[in-house]
Amino acid sequence: MLNKLRTASHSIAFKILILILILASVFWSIGTMFHSSNNSSDIVTFTKAKNITKSEFMQALKLAMHQIPQNSDQNLLTQNNIRELVLSNLISTHVLEQLAHEYNLTLSTAAVFKFIQNSKAFNNNQNFDINIFRNILKNLHISEPQYFDQAAKQQLSEILLRQFINNNYVPSILTKNIINLSAETRNIQLVSIDLQNEQLQSTLDSPSSEQLQEFYNNNQSKFEKPEQRHISYIVLDNNYFKNKVIVDNKSLEEFYRTHSDQFSEKNSFTKNIAEVREKYVNHQVDKLFNDTITLLEDEVASGSNSSEIAKMLNVKLLTLNNVTKQKLANNKILSNVTDAIFALEEHETSYPLDVSSKMLIIVSIQKIIPTAVEKFDNVLNQVQEEWKKNTIRERNIELLNKFQQTTNADNFIADAKKYKLTVKPNVIVTRLNNNTVELPKEFVEQLLTLKKREVSNVYISTSNQHAYVALISAITTDRDLTTKFLSLTEDIKGSFKNLVYHELVTYLYNLYKGEVK
């Protein structure tokens, strides 16, 4: 069993260890697909399960945003990946709903009502409050039947989830083997080379015209003028929404009466006036933010562009001309939505892009100047420089390959010095990534499959222009880590169950031919 797990460490063990360390919910990343979605009403389609519509997603997102406390650590989650988590939850719900349908599983109306009544979002002093329930749905523009239907789906998927996880037996021997793998430590002798190091290739001859022309013909992508775009856009930041909030004593008193349980000083509006004002403004900003998203989505869907929306909202229209993707990625405001902007077609307008906390952007593409290859004569100096860099890189790789093919465990360090390679004689590598030297993940995974005194293959990094070879000099077990992980046995079992559940949802997603639009 241990040998089988060790062989599969690059897949199973790594996934489980990540789950152990972060104890996270199981979701797969969808990325920034919403920033570039078109006018289609379906954002995820299935052949058998019900499709996920954009309106369904927006309702779920609004509800999720409302349930996250203001000014809490969870706001980081809201800013970074709440959209991805909401969509992942919807995908899980839809495939499990289809699974339940195939087995004729349903919930009674009473069970759904009980589920809603137990939701903390609708509680007042730990009791269900129908007024809070209705006010929240009203503010979120969600009808009671819509929410009831959504709650029924959510509860059914949660029941299936609990049943699957609770009945999924994890053998103790599996947990023990995972712990042993987790605590495994490898000492390696690391040899590397800077692929751009000219000193190792000091005898490089000048290229002929034919060599340069051939290199240019074979590498035209290196000599492209990147795509450029003319864009116009508007920015609605937090100040925009705050300035829209009208604060008067009547509004503050009404807000205090409705939410008096949230304040430290009970039954005293005067003593809470500063806190009431702050929470009232935040509440109104949240409402305006969500209402504005809905308004902008409707405007874009009806064909309005950024210029027309700017006039409607009485905000400044901003422009950027001849902007490349790289240049846009360095823009302080637009960097987070660069991919979304460059996914738009000419004359297309984006749906509202949520770039940060309480900041929305609408972008219209005025013109696209496509990528074009520069003529050979115009980039001759660049061709010469690229040829030189490429030739040095290839020769350095040949040098490291020659070393790897001729060395052995007894002469590893001595041979590396003969070739004038960089040597680190004692590097620690573990499955927990707390390595003494930062190394590419794929190379570490290769090292974790090798036996003692075995030399790795040459690994060429695409991120830092280095290549590596390593010798496994020792394999030991960190007893302190073993003891630590033994105390987390139940967490490990829970993480493994979650991982298997994730694989089930992924299987159903593929079975029903799920596709993100």
**CA gap 379, 373 in Å, rounded:** 10
Q: What does the pLDDT read at residue 68? A: 59
Residue showing tokens 């269900």: 128
- Residue 266's pLDDT band (boundaries 50, 70, 90)? low
Q: What is the pLDDT of residues 42-75, one digit of tens each?
A: 889 999 898 999 888 887 877 777 665 544 444 4
pLDDT in tens, 412-437: 999 999 999 999 999 988 877 656 67
What per-residue confidence (pLDDT) applies to 415? 96
Q: CB–CB of 16/495 below 8 Å?
A: yes
SS3 420: coil
> Interior CA angle at 328 toward 322 and 331, to 5°?
125
Residue 12's pLDDT band, with cuts at 50, 70 and 90, is: very low
Q: If residue 239 lies in a helix (H) or strand (E), which one and from where to where?
A: helix 238-244
pLDDT digits (tens, 9 = 90+) for 16-52: 433 333 222 323 333 333 343 443 488 899 998 989 9
pLDDT value, residue 11: 42
Sign of CA dihedral 7, 9, 10, 11: positive
267 confidence band (pLDDT: 50, 70, 90): low
Least reliable range by pLDDT among 198-202, 344-348, 372-376, 508-512:
198-202
pLDDT greater at residue 242 or residue 61: 242
CATH of domain 2-171+486-516: 1.10.4030
Most confident of 106-110, 288-292, 404-408, 474-478: 404-408
- pLDDT confidence of residue 308: 96
| Burial classification of residue 153, based on how many CB atoms lie within 10 Å of its CB (0-12 exposed, 13-18 middle, 19 or more buried) | buried
pLDDT, tens only, 329-344: 999 899 989 999 999 9
Residue pLDDT, tens place only, 334-376: 998 999 999 999 999 999 988 777 889 999 999 999 999 999 9
- Least confident among 9-13, 135-139, 289-293, 368-372: 9-13
Average pLDDT over residues 435-462: 89
Q: What mean pLDDT value characterizes the chain? A: 82
The stretch 308-323 carries a mean pLDDT of 95
Radius of gyration of the CA atoms of the chain, in A? 29
| Secondary structure element (H or E) that encloses residue 461, with its range | none
pLDDT of residue 201: 65
Report the share of the chain in percent with pLDDT over 70.
85
Long-range contacts of 454-462 (CB under 8 A, 24+ apart): 454/409, 455/404, 455/407, 455/408, 455/409, 455/412, 456/404, 457/404, 458/397, 458/400, 458/401, 458/404, 460/195, 460/397
Give me 411's structure tokens: 């002469």
Over 80: is that where the pLDDT of 322 sits?
A: yes
> What is the CATH code of the structural domain delimited by 185-203+378-477?
3.10.50
Tens of pLDDT, residues 159-183 = 887 787 777 778 888 888 888 888 8
Q: What is the pLDDT of residues 116-153, one digit of tens each?
A: 888 777 888 878 888 888 887 777 777 888 888 878 87
Domain boundaries along the sequence of the chain: 2-171+486-516, 185-203+378-477, 227-370
